[in-house]
Amino acid sequence: MHKIIVEGINVFAYHGCLLEEAKIGTHYTVDVIMETDFSVAAQTDDLAQTIDYVIVYNIVKEQMAIRSKLIEQVGQRIIDKLKLEFKTLHKVEVKVTKHNPPMNGNVDKVSIVITA
């Protein structure tokens, strides 16, 4: 089994339960870890035989642009789209990190991790 890791996808988005979050937005970071078998790609140097991380980036960007109250929902949508796009995925993990969450306290970031 092999892993493809796309780390530090930085986007600005408008997720959150508060109305001000829908207007102001904040920075997010998304990390994607995918387990697959890219043996053929490694031997043939053929992009079609592996997971194209440009497509991964575009899926993340597209799903992050759709407003949700919860980053949990965003993370699940990203996983659903990745599994739909890449039939060779054996396992996928998505971490969505919200920077500077609006809380009554000094918190740098909050994250969710979903593995499917």
Checking phi first, is residue 113 left (phi over 0); if not, alpha (psi -120 to 50) or beta?
A: beta
Catalytic residue among 83, 91, 98, 109: 98
- Residue 34 corresponds to which tokens in the numbers above? 């995918």
Q: Is 98 a catalytic residue?
A: yes
User: What Rg value do the Cα atoms of the chain yield, rounded?
Assistant: 16
Phi, psi (5° rounding) for residue 39?
Answer: -60, -45
Active site residues: 98
